[in-house]
Amino acid sequence: MPTDYARQLLAVERTPTGNAHLGWMLAFVAGATNAGGFLAVQQYTSHMTGMVSAAADGIVLGQPQALATAVGALLAFGAGAACTSLLVNFGRQRQAHSIFALPLLLEAACLLVFGLMGAWLAGLQAVFIPAAVAVLCFTMGLQNALITKVSRAEIRTTHVTGIVTDIGIEIGRFLYGLGGTPVQGNAAKLRLLAGLLLAFAVGGVTGAWAFKALGYAATLPLAALLAFLGAVPAFDDLDRLRARPND
C-alpha cells in the first residue's frame, strides 16, 4: 500500500532501508528542482558553494543586485534548515508521528507556490529572480536539514560533492583491500551513495525536461509527491488526537 510505504519512509523509529529510500527520493526531488530551477532563474539553488562565490564576485565586480541575490539565497537556505529543526523539535516534544512529515509538507507548499505563481511573476525580472531564488533555496535548506536529522548526518541529498567524495573513498578502500589488508570497503554504503548520485542525476534530467515542456507547472508533481508523503503521518496524528478521550 502506498500509505504504508509513506509511513515507513517517515517513521519516527528509523531503519537503514527507510533512510536509503527516503534519501533516494529526496535526491531525485533536489536534482529536479535544481535543474528545473536553473532554467527558470539561471541559478543553481540546491547548494551554497556557488552562492558564496557569487557574493564574492558581486563585491569585487561592483554588482549590488548579484550580491543581494546571493546573500538572500544564503540566508534563505539557512532559514529553511532552521525551520526544519524547529518543526522536528516541535513534533518530538509532542511525541507526534509526523515529526519528519511537517518539513516535507512545508517544502511541498513552497514548490506549489513557485509552480503556480512563477509564470505570473516571471515578467517582473527585478523582483521575481531574487524572490524565486530565495524560495527555492529555502526549500532546499528544509530538505537538506530534514535528511540530515533523519539519517543522523549520514545522508545529504541537495548536493553531490560529498557523495562523489565518499564514493571515491569507498572505492579506494575496496581497491586497497584487494591486497589482503584488513581495510575493506562498505558495499552497503557504496550502494547507498551510488543510488543518491543516480537519483540526483535522473531528477536533474527529469526536471530540466519537464520545465522545458511544462514551464513552472513542472514543480507541481514534485509538490504533490511530497504532500502525499507528508500527509499520511500528519493524518495519523489527527486521528490519534480525535481518538483521545476528552479531559
Residue 2 C-alpha from the chain's centroid = 21
Position 127 in a domain:
yes
What is the structure's pLDDT at 74? 94
What is the structure's pLDDT at 29? 96
Convert the pLDDT of each residue in 161-219 to its tens digit.
989 999 999 898 888 877 666 666 688 899 999 999 999 999 999 999 999 998 888 99
What is the structure's pLDDT at 95? 86
Position 36 in a domain:
yes
Please report how the helices 101-121 and 219-243 are oriented relative to each other, as an axis angle in degrees rounded to 10.
140
Position 163 in a domain:
no
A 10 A CB-CB count for 94 gives 11
Position 162 in a domain:
no
Position 182 in a domain:
no
**Containing domain of residue 215, as a range?**
2-157+203-243
Convert the pLDDT of each residue in 15-69 to its tens digit.
999 999 999 999 999 999 999 988 888 888 888 888 999 899 999 999 988 899 8
Convert the pLDDT of each residue in 139-151 to its tens digit.
999 999 999 999 8
Shortest CA distance to 146 belongs to which of 110, 99, 108? 99
Position 187 in a domain:
no
Position 12 in a domain:
yes
What is the structure's pLDDT at 126? 62
Q: How far apart are CA 184 and CA 177, in angstroms?
A: 5
What total number of domains does the chain contain?
A: 1
Position 168 in a domain:
no
pLDDT of 120 above 80 = no
Q: Give residue for cell 551510488.
A: 194
Write the CA distances from 43 to 69, 134, 215, integer angstroms: 10, 11, 16
Q: Give residue for cell 523509529.
A: 13
